[in-house]
Amino acid sequence: GAVVSQHPSWVICKSGTSVKIECRSLDFQATTMFWYRQFPKQSLMLMATSNEGSKATYEQGVEKDKFLINHASLTLSTLTVTSAHPEDSSFYICSAADGYTDTQYFGPGTRLTVL
Amino acid sequence: GNSVTQMEGPVTLSEEAFLTINCTYTATGYPSLFWYVQYPGEGLQLLLKATKADDKGSNKGFEATYRKETTSFHLEKGSVQVSDSAVYFCALKDSGAGSYQLTFGKGTKLSVIP
């Protein structure tokens, strides 16, 4: 089946620093990727939709200047959390849409802890 | 707008028990329906899907049938194992071409005890 990877799987950083998370579709091309945030014991919250070669579309309430998304190729999207603060600590999950199967496939997630 | 309603958890079952997790949806047109599973500390894995009415998705002993008349997509398994302990998410996707955004239910946590 389709595989999506994320890197890193976990990261700890100091408050005020920036962190970049990579999401790759390994065996298919994804014109559309998604970024989600998941709080403990809760469902996924869609943060933004990323389309290859164009600007991301952010959901209401998500700060686009804080959560920078780049989708430079058909297999790679990145999420950069800028000037991270402890309240940004969360589990971030990406997904990639496979147009051939019309299905979203998810990465394994990245646990971000901001001290 | 679209919405997905799942039965509230947590659900605790003994090994080899029968599992049903209810899922109903509200959507216009003919959405595609999915079940995803999330094991502790991991991302979501596609468990099964169905794209049109009366389709049955199945995988790893789990199955769900797309019922348009009752707008439901209930997940079932005849005999659960401890390794099935996870959170299960029901989701739908609009039928429009190029539309990939998913609407998720809140998730149902399943614990299977030996």
Report the percentage of chain A scoring pLDDT > 90. 80
Neighbouring residues of B82: CB distance < 8 A, sequence distance ≥ 6: B15, B112, B113, B114
d(CA A81, CA A34): 15
Does the structure show a pLDDT above 80 at B40? yes
What confidence score (pLDDT) does residue A16 get? 97
Can you tell me the distance from the alpha carbon of A51 to that of A81, in angstroms, rounded to the nearest whole number?
Answer: 19
Beta-sheet strand order (sheet of B75-77): B19-21, B75-77, B62-65, B56-59
Arithmetic mean of pLDDT, B4-30: 94
* Chain B from 56 to 85: CB within 8 A of any A CB: none
The whole-number pLDDT of residue A41 equals 79
What is the mean predicted confidence (pLDDT) over B23-31?
Answer: 92
What mean pLDDT comes out for the span A82-91? 96
CA neighbours closer than 13 Å in the CB half-sphere of residue B40: 5
CB atoms within 10 A of CB B67: 16
Which residue type occupies B98?
G
Contact status, residue B2 vs residue B34, Cβ threshold 8 Å: no
Residue identified by tokens 């049938």 is B65
Which of B102, B105, B107 lies at the smallest CB-CB distance from A104? B102
The answer, yes or no, to whether residue B97 has pLDDT greater than 70, is: no
Model confidence at B9, pLDDT cuts 50, 70, 90, reads: confident
Facing A104 at nearest CB: one of B100, B105, B106: B100
Kindly state whether B10 is in contact with chain A, defined as any CB-CB distance less than 8 angstroms: no
CB burial string A9-40: b at 16+ within 10 A, e below:
eebebeeeeebebbbbbeebebbbbbbbbbee
Please, which residues have CB within 8 angstroms of residue A55's CB and are 6 or more apart in sequence? none
User: Positive or negative, the Cα torsion across B47, B51, A97, A89?
Assistant: negative
Using CB atoms, pick whichever of A43, A49, A105 lies closest to residue B104.
Answer: A43
- Partners of B102 on chain A (C-beta within 8 Å) are 34, 104
> Are B46 and A105 a contacting pair at CB < 8 A?
yes
Q: Averaged over B12-39, what is the pLDDT?
A: 95
Measured in angstroms, the CA of B36 and the nearest CA of chain A are apart by: 10
pLDDT reported for residue A21? 98
Going by pLDDT thresholds of 50, 70 and 90, the confidence category of residue A105 is very high
Q: Which of B41, B101, B109 sits opposite A49 (nearest CB)?
A: B101
Contacts of A104 in chain B (CB under 8 A): 46, 93, 100, 102
